[in-house]
Structure formats: structure tokens, C-alpha cells
Structure 1
């Protein structure tokens, strides 16, 4: 069973289209989206439309939840978000907010006898950051009841084994924090409990298009620069 896991698209249609094109060439069995379809980028409605059109299983990210909630409940109150959240609230169609509100916060599957759980932040919280060497990650994996935890939210891809359990962070399609303006996602190839392969994909895309769109919409310079540098 080959599964592609994508996340943190953040309104970046160009990156999403490139990633889906790459995934389609790899002929995976399933694509799972770990949320944050919106926020920061200028194409939230188009991203949601593409995810819905492809009928991809999808969970709710913390930015999705904040757009539904209408406040800073699940995101940090930063200078960037003080622009990005109100802009998203005014831009996203009511039908798309309703779609985001109905998304689950976790998805669980059994692939070839391997229990896999998909979350956005952590199994405990939609906006908890899990880094591979973080003490909270170690504690969560110690009590984790499935075999593989697949998360996102940090925008940094990572992989680590915790005894017989596997921790995977898929990175970010639309707003990477890897120091390069490239989209990242993950492919899990599961053929049984003793045959689990995890590969990260990093793709160049035409990021100058989103830079141009943001500039034309008078987005703050720090948002524009983040697409150019791959840094927050």
C-alpha cells in the first residue's frame, strides 16, 4: 500500500498543483491531506476546491480551525497573522468555511496490518508542535497506541523510530521552513509490519508566481519573502 501524505498548503495553489502532479506520476493508492488548506497564501478557495474535487481524505489544521472560529484560538497572534487571518476570513467563501468546519481532527487506517494515525499537530492537540527530538514527542510516542504517527504543522519533514513505533512529519506543500522555496511531502510504502518505507519528496515549483500574486494583493513583505527564502 503506497500512501502520499501532504499538508500545510496554506493557500498556495501553484505548489499544490505541482505536488499532485508528482504524486499522480508515482501511482499511489491513497492521498491523505493533514490540513491547513488556508492561511497566508492568496488562493484559499482554489486550494479547497481542488482538494474537494479530488475527494481527498482530509483533516482539519489549526489555521483551518481558526478560520472557522474567527479568532486566534488555534494560531499565534503575530504581525503576519494579524494580516493573514482577517484577509482569509474575508476571502473564503461561506461554503468553504462550512467544509473546513466539518473536517475531522484525526484519521486512522489499518494498512496491511499496520495501524497508522494521521493528525495535524499531535494526537493531543491540533496546534501542538512535534519535533523529532522534542521531549513532548517522546512522551506522546511512549503512550501512542498505533504503529505509525503521521503529523505536520512544523513545516519541517522528519522521521524517527521510537522503539517499534514510527514518527513521521510530512513537512509543508505551500509554505516550507526548510531554507529553500520548495514543496515537501511524504510517501509511505507499507507492505506489512516489518516492511514500512518512508520517503520524503522535495519539489521545485514556480514560486515566483505566488510572489507576484501576493505583491499584487499588497500582502506584507514578510509573507512575500517567506515564499522566496523557505523561512518563516
Structure 2
């Protein structure tokens, strides 16, 4: 079974269109969106409409949560005063152009999706969140202490935890109970379709390959494929620069930062 997971489109319609073209060529058995459809670019309504018309199961990102409630707070962790000022413009602009029907859709999005598998006489749980199981805007960076990450997985009862929010893809395998039958859990950041921050401007998503050999006792039994695809970055960057949004958001798309 192939499961496609994507996240953090952030109103970047050219990137989303390129993503659909790429992912459909790979013929996944299921596809899920992990949120943050809106913000930072000019196409929030179009992005929402494209996902809705395909009936893709989608969870709320922190930006979706805020805009769905017409809030001036997206739950974003801006580090500098300059970032905060740019963020205010983005939130205000997005609130001003999102239509009522699209806003209502954002308000109905669930906080997480749980998928349970019965394989090899054992139940495995795949949990999909935006930030973390604890909080929609919590950042789970790759260097988080293993003990802390394992606590999050245990509290959420998740064998495989997939999320976005940081826009930086990675896969960590955390094994406990060492010996002949270790229990291994997976944490996977699926990256960003429309606003990557890992220095690669191409869009990114993840394909999980799950079959009957998947086992919590084998750290290598889950295949995680990180997919990158080209899209018209310049079109997306120029759209930012032709709007009232800060030009820096366009440069971030060009740099993948």
C-alpha cells in the first residue's frame, strides 16, 4: 500500500498543481493532507477548492485554524520583530481575501487523523498531525531529545507519527526494549509542498510504503520515500511581489528558506 502525505501548501497554487501532477503519476492508494493550506501567497481560496474537489482527507494546520476563525493570530513562532510585522501583513491579507465558504471549510477540519493497521498479528497505529499530537503549532525538530520524542509517541499511542509545520523533512526511528524484539517507532516530518525551508526550493512530500512485512520489531520494515518535484517557483514568487505581501516571502520561495 502506498500512502501519499503532503502539507504546508501555504496558498501556493503553482506548487500544488505540480504536486498533484507528480503524485498522480505515482498512483498512491491513499492521500492525506496535513494542513496549512493558506497564508503567505495569493491563492488561498484556489488551494482550498482544489483539495476539496478531490475529497482529500485534511487536518487543520495552525494557519488554517486561525484564518478559519478570522483571528489575527496564526499561532506562528516568529523570532524577530521584522518577522512579526511581515506575519501581521500576511494574516491580514489572507483574512481579507478568503471567502465565506472556504473559511467555513477551514473551521471544520479535524485536529488529527488516526489510521490503524492489523499486520502480522499486531496492530500498528499511524497518526497524522500538523505540529504535534499535543499542540497544533508545536515544532518537532529533528534534533529533539529522544526521550522527549518517545514520550510524545507513547502518550499519543502512535507507532508512526507524521507531521509538517517545520517545513524541514526528516525520518527518525526510535527503538526501545533492546534485544531480540525491540519496539521501534517512527517520526516523520513530511516537508512542505509550497514553502520549503530546507534550502531546496522544490516542493516536497512523502510516500509511505506499507505491506504485510511492516513490524514494530524491525526498524527497517517501513519504507519512507521523500519526493521532491519541480514547480514554477518564479511564478509563485512574482505573485507575492505583485501583491501587498512582503517581497521577502517571494525571496524565501526562491531560496527554499
TM-score range, shorter chain: over 0.9
For the 8 Å contact 1:181–1:207, the answer to whether it is kept is yes
For the 8 Å contact 2:196–2:256, the answer to whether it is kept is yes
Deviation of 1:215 after TM superposition, in Å, equals 1.6
CA–CA distance in structure 1, aligned partners of residues 109 and 151 of structure 2: 27
| Structure 2 gap ranges (5+) | 79-83, 176-183, 216-220
CA–CA distance in structure 2, aligned partners of residues 171 and 97 of structure 1: 24
Question: Secondary structure of the equivalent of 1:75?
Answer: coil
Question: Secondary structure of the equivalent of 2:32?
Answer: strand
CA–CA distance in structure 1, aligned partners of residues 12 and 74 of structure 2: 23
Find the partner of 1:198 among 218, 224, 227: 224
Aligned residues: 231
When the two structures are superposed, what TM-score results if normalisation uses the length of structure 2?
A: 0.86
Deviation of 1:218 after TM superposition, in Å, equals 3.5
Question: Secondary structure of the equivalent of 2:254?
Answer: helix
> Which residue of structure 1 aligns with residue 30 of structure 2?
30
When the two structures are superposed, what TM-score results if normalisation uses the length of structure 1?
A: 0.95
Compared CA separation, residues 15 and 111, structure 1 to 2 (3 A): farther
CA–CA distance in structure 2, aligned partners of residues 120 and 181 of structure 1: 21
Residues 139-161 of structure 1: CA deviation (Å, up to 9, x unaligned):
31344412100011000000001
| Residue 127 (str. 1) matches residue 137 (str. 2) | yes
Deviation of 1:201 after TM superposition, in Å, equals 0.6
Find the partner of 1:91 among 91, 94, 97: 97
Aligned-residue CA RMSD in angstroms?
A: 1.4
Find the partner of 1:145 among 115, 137, 157: 157
Compared CA separation, residues 102 and 216, structure 1 to 2 (3 A): same
Which one has a bigger Cα radius of gyration? 2
Find the partner of 1:168 among 188, 199, 204: 188
For the 8 Å contact 1:181–1:229, the answer to whether it is kept is yes
For the 8 Å contact 1:174–1:183, the answer to whether it is kept is yes
More displaced, 27-36 or 144-153?
A: 144-153
Find the partner of 1:213 among 220, 239, 248: 239
For the 8 Å contact 1:36–1:63, the answer to whether it is kept is yes
Find the partner of 2:107 among 98, 101, 126: 101
> Which residue of structure 1 aligns with residue 72 of structure 2?
71
Question: Secondary structure of the equivalent of 2:125?
Answer: strand
Deviation of 1:74 after TM superposition, in Å, equals 2.0
More displaced, 173-182 or 67-76?
A: 67-76
> Which residue of structure 2 aligns with residue 49 of structure 1?
49
| Structure 1 gap ranges (5+) | none
For the 8 Å contact 2:72–2:88, the answer to whether it is kept is no
CA–CA distance in structure 2, aligned partners of residues 204 and 14 of structure 1: 10
CA–CA distance in structure 2, aligned partners of residues 37 and 214 of structure 1: 16
CA–CA distance in structure 2, aligned partners of residues 54 and 116 of structure 1: 22
CA–CA distance in structure 2, aligned partners of residues 153 and 49 of structure 1: 21
